[in-house]
């Protein structure tokens, strides 16, 4: 089985696999199911985990792994709280659930609402706790994540106010056909490249909204499921130099996703991707 390529994760100096395990897929998993996923990650050499308190039971499922494998993984979690005290309480709960005394990266979760951001980054806001946690050695780095069309633009504004070590934004072929979005995305990537800030991406294999379809996966959006579509979509995103890719938040599609990443050599041409969008009826998942 081919191992997944590694590259330096921004200023952290960690050699992270380009595919970062998105533990949202464990939100409803039992421990036996989770342990089978761990075996798969180890086979591919995945050495970076992204989680969050909002991901159901994910932190609980990761806890037993950390007893034996914490030194093999760069561990990232998040807080979605606005105030210092709320973020502090949530983070210590995360440490308990993860069965660790520290993490490598603590991220402000989905910082794309202006009102939320002003509170979180203002006096007594959650950012004050993240800085304190870093100063106390509870986390080594601080990041910011975002969903939706405004994420790259909002991150750039946030980066002008605080030197985050990492960012996370959506990225897939169809989304990057939106002129305003691709402009903001490229501006963000350029800014981060010049300052050695790691760029993580999500939603690479999103197909569209569920609508009236019965939900067959735990993701809030409908993912692509056939192997060839996943390969092309993943390879197209991996063709963007220097970025990292969070894995799909669903256990059913994770093996296909990891195989696609491991087999990456070059991105498919846009003409081929346009054909895939039409064939699979891929739609935007962000307004």
pLDDT band for position 3 (cuts 50, 70, 90): confident
Structure confidence by residue, pLDDT tens digits, 126-181: 999 999 999 999 999 999 999 999 999 999 999 999 999 999 999 999 999 999 99
Residue whose tokens read 């970025």: 243
CA distance 261 to 20: 10
Q: Is the pLDDT of residue 14 over 90?
A: yes
pLDDT of residue 287: 80
Assigned fold of 6-280: TIM Barrel (3.20.20)
pLDDT of residue 99: 97
Structure confidence by residue, pLDDT tens digits, 18-64: 999 999 999 999 999 999 999 999 999 999 999 999 999 999 999 99
Instruction: Please give the angle made by the CA atoms of 98, 159 and 137, to the nearest 5 degrees.
Output: 35
Structure confidence by residue, pLDDT tens digits, 76-93: 999 999 999 999 999 999
Q: Name every residue whose Cβ is closer than 8 Å to that of residue 6 and which is 6 or more positions away in sequence.
A: 15, 16, 17, 18, 45, 47
Structure confidence by residue, pLDDT tens digits, 231-265: 999 999 999 999 999 999 999 999 999 999 999 99
Instruction: Please give the angle made by the CA atoms of 11, 205 and 22, to the nearest 5 degrees.
Output: 45
Q: If phi over 0 gives left and psi between -120 and 50 gives alpha, with beta otherwise, what is residue 273?
A: alpha
Answer positive or negative: Cα dihedral of 249, 251, 257, 261.
Answer: positive
pLDDT of residue 101: 97
Structure confidence by residue, pLDDT tens digits, 177-222: 999 999 999 999 999 999 999 999 999 999 999 989 999 999 999 9
Coil/strand/helix, residue 199: strand
- Reported as type and span, the H/E element at residue 85 is helix 84-98
Answer positive or negative: Cα dihedral of 247, 249, 254, 256.
Answer: negative
**Residue 65 · residue 59 · CB < 8 Å:** no
For residue 269, count other CB atoms closer than 10 A to its CB: 11
Structure confidence by residue, pLDDT tens digits, 62-76: 999 998 999 999 999
Is 208 exposed, middle or buried, given 0-12, 13-18 or 19+ CB atoms closer than 10 A? middle
Q: Is the pLDDT of residue 1 over 90?
A: no
CA distance 153 to 156: 5
> What radius of gyration do the chain's Cα atoms show?
18
**Residue spans per domain, the chain:** 6-280
CA distance 207 to 105: 30
For residue 66, count other CB atoms closer than 10 A to its CB: 18
């Amino acid at each position: 089985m081919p191992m997944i390529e590694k590259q330096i994760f921004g200023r952290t100096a960690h050699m992270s696999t380009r595919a970062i395990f998105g533990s949202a897929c464990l939100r409803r998993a039992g421990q036996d199911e989770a342990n089978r996923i761990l075996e798969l990650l180890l086979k591919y050499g995945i050495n970076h985990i992204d989680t969050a308190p909002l991901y159901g039971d994910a932190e609980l499922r990761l806890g037993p792994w950390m007893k034996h494998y914490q030194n093999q993984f760069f561990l990232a979690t998040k807080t979605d709280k606005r105030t210092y005290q709320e973020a502090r309480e949530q983070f210590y709960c995360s440490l308990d659930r993860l069965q660790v005394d520290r993490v490598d990266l603590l991220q402000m979760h989905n910082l794309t609402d202006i009102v939320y951001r002003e509170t979180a980054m203002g006096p007594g806001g959650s950012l004050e706790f993240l800085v304190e946690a870093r100063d106390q050695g509870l986390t080594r780095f601080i990041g910011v994540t975002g969903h939706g069309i405004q994420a790259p633009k909002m991150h750039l504004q946030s980066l002008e106010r605080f030197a985050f070590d990492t960012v996370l934004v959506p990225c897939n072929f169809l989304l990057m056909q939106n002129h305003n979005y691709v402009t903001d995305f490229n501006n963000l990537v350029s800014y981060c490249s010049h300052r050695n800030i790691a760029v993580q991406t999500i939603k690479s294999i999103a197909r569209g909204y569920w609508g009236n379809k019965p939900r067959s996966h735990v993701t809030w959006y409908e993912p692509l499921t056939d192997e060839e579509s996943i390969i092309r979509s993943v390879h197209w995103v991996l063709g963007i130099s220097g970025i990292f890719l969070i894995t799909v938040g669903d256990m059913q599609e994770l093996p296909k996703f990891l195989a696609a990443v491991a087999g990456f050599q070059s991105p498919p041409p846009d003409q081929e991707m346009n054909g895939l969008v039409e064939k699979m009826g891929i739609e935007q998942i962000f307004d």
